[in-house]
Amino acid sequence: MTPKSSSSSKELSALLHEEACARGEHDYVDPQTGYRVFTRLYLIERGTCCESTCRHCPYGFGSDLKKTKP
């Protein structure tokens, strides 16, 4: 399934992230890119920020950068 709009893509990503966390999983596959995305659960368990602007970063790294991306 490939979302048609940016907002539906973000909604699907958020849903997949929620479901993966509920199952205790550390990652999920982004259907638009095919990349594995770490869940917030994994990043918290990891214990430190890797400063890679992870999509679900619980440490806030890069949140300003993400807001400026097109």
Structure confidence by residue, pLDDT tens digits, 8-31: 989 999 999 999 999 999 999 999
In degrees and rounded to multiples of 5, residue 36 shows phi and psi of -80, 135
Q: What is the pLDDT of residues 20-70, one digit of tens each?
A: 999 999 999 999 999 999 999 999 999 999 999 999 999 999 766 655 444
Per-residue pLDDT, 49: 96
Q: Please tell me which residue, 57 or 5, carries the higher pLDDT value.
A: 57
What is the DSSP secondary structure assignment for residue 38, as one 8-state letter? E
What is the distance between the alpha carbons of residues 17 and 70, in angstroms, rounded to a whole number? 22
- 3-state SS, one letter per residue, for 7-41: HHHHHHHHHHHHHHHHCCCCEEECCCCCCEEECHH
Per-residue pLDDT, 66: 56
**Entry pTM:** 0.76
